[in-house]
Amino acid sequence: MLGRLFYLATRVALPPITLHFVSLEEYGIWSTCFLIIGYIGMGTFGVANVYIRFAAQYNATGQQQEIGKLLAVGLTITLGFSALVLILLYLGMPWIVEWFKIPIHLQATATTLILGSVATMLLDMTFGAFAYVLQGLQRIVQQTLVWIVSFLLETVVMIGLLMEGFGVKGLLLAFAARYIFSTLAYMVLCYRAVPGLRLQLRGAGKETYRLFFGYGGILQLSGLLSIFLYSCERLAAGMLAGVGSVGLLDIGQKFPMMSSQLFGSAQNSFLTTLTHLHAQNRRDEMVEVYAKGTRYLNLLNGTAMGFMAPFGFYLITAWMGPAKPYPEAATIMALAAIGYHLHVITGPATTYFQGTHKPWRPLLGLLIPQLLIAGCGLFWLLRVQDDGLLAVVAAMAIARVLSSLIFLAQTNREMRYGQLRFLWSVLLPGLMPYVIGYGLWHFTQTWMSGISLARLDLLPVLAGRGVGYLVMTGLIFLVVFANRQERSSILRRFKRA
């Protein structure tokens, strides 16, 4: 989580710097590159999970020679996939630039950025196998350190190239430098972690291939649908309102997405824990891990989102500067906050089904309902001819909220965890901060509307409101929602401090 926080801090700092050197349209093209990368990146989602899970299994059972076979089969699959993707993308570039309504004078730049960024990501997806194996071998600290150094390298190179006049192409060069470095570092560390590691297809039977196309295939399908739903707004925005709206959407969703990614990274530990408990038939402890995990993810995300939603305009102004006011982005932030919030707290439920060998349940219970609700919402917008960006974002937020609540209710029923108990002990503590945030905004809005929007004037005001918000949120949680054990633990920590 600390590594993720450090990473997100650099991502917050870069857009204002980048937009000082490039236009909003060029920045929108760069954001579009990551939309395309997101879809292609999900092409190896299942493969990555196979590396992590079975590298851990082989290491635990002393079958390290099988790791080489696993890597060889995985690299063969992803190399073929990468070559096919690059050929199809190159042939399809005329349709892509037309689809996203990229202006004629920027089409050559867009072609370079899209092909270059996708080629870089395919390099990471293919040889990133060594990073996934490191994770399966529990070398997470090494992996994280390489990741931190690589994104810091990207940040330094990016700023330097922008200042040297490379423009938006400097972003691509920095992106490539990051992944070339990390790929080489992961390979070296992997060979050190597994002495005598040999990549060999000989001896890799049908079972090894089944790992990728069976268990991995189900997760692959779920991942592809997930990334599609995650980026529906950008697709719709690009087609309906042009590439500039994609950049506006990126600005408005930045903080909610960061919060969901930051706290969502904590759920990586749930899969191994729930799998271990399931193997030992310790059902009561599985229920406890699920309930507490969802409760604390909900509370963490609610605390962050509950302040972002009402104070979005001031946060974006302090971030981007008053010279570039984006009032629509503030509404996007409020809508995105609740949608991403409810979606990310389904993580423990998803890992519960993966750990109990039911990886198809999140697909059927969460993703397909979200797709159907989102499809109905977008169809309705087309029917009433409302092609505004905010209407699209609202439709997707509603789809995320409803599908997440349906999936959580299904999981509670399977785990025999009472719905009313879940509402009080898990859901309400994370929704309570929104009430506090909007209440604070309501009582201070008249005064804040008259303050200067200059960064140096606005930042102390936001900091003061943020501290007051955190104090009120903490007190209400402590008095109303905390159980005896949590209250005792919190008070004990305060006494130590």
Q: pLDDT tens across 330-349, in order?
A: 888 999 999 999 999 998 99
Burial class (CB in 10 A: 0-12, 13-18, 19+), 26: buried
Mean pLDDT calculated for residue range 369-384: 86
Q: Could you tell me where the DSSP H helices lie in 345-476?
A: 347-355, 360-362, 368-383, 389-415, 419-422, 428-448, 455-476
The model's pLDDT over 69-82, given as tens digits with 9 standing for 90+, comes to 888 888 888 888 88
Q: Spell out the residues 6+ positions from residue 319 whose beta carbon is closer than 8 angstroms to its own.
A: 12, 15, 16
Residue 275: pLDDT band with limits 50, 70, 90: low
Q: Can you give the three-state secondary structure of 88-155, one letter per residue?
A: HHHHHHHHHHHHCCCCHHHHHHHHHHHHHHHHHHHHHHHHCHHHHHHHHCCCHHHHHHHHHHHHHHHH
Residue 54 has pLDDT above 80, yes or no: no
Chain segment 278-335, per-residue pLDDT in tens: 767 888 999 999 999 999 999 999 999 999 999 988 888 888 777 655 677 888 899 9
Contact status, residue 250 vs residue 393, Cβ threshold 8 Å: no
Indicate whether 216 pLDDT > 80. no
**Average of per-residue pLDDT values in the chain:** 84
Of 103-117, 287-301, 344-358, which one has max mean pLDDT? 287-301
Task: Determine the pLDDT at residue 278.
Answer: 76
Contact 67, 55 (CB under 8 A): yes
| 386 has a pLDDT exceeding 70 | no
| Closest of 354, 316, 356, 351 to residue 336, by C-alpha | 316
Kindly report, residue by residue over 222-252, the tens digit of the pLDDT. 877 887 787 777 777 666 656 667 777 878 8
d(CA 199, CA 72): 5
pLDDT confidence of residue 457: 78
Residue bearing tokens 């309902």: 369
pLDDT score of 387 more than 70: no
* Overall average pLDDT of the 15-43 stretch: 80
pLDDT at 240: 62
Q: Which residue has the higher pLDDT, 92 or 209?
A: 92
The conformation of residue 22, written as its DSSP 8-state character, comes to S
**For the chain, domain boundaries:** 1-230, 231-434
Mean pLDDT on 259-265: 82
pLDDT of 46 > 80? The answer is no
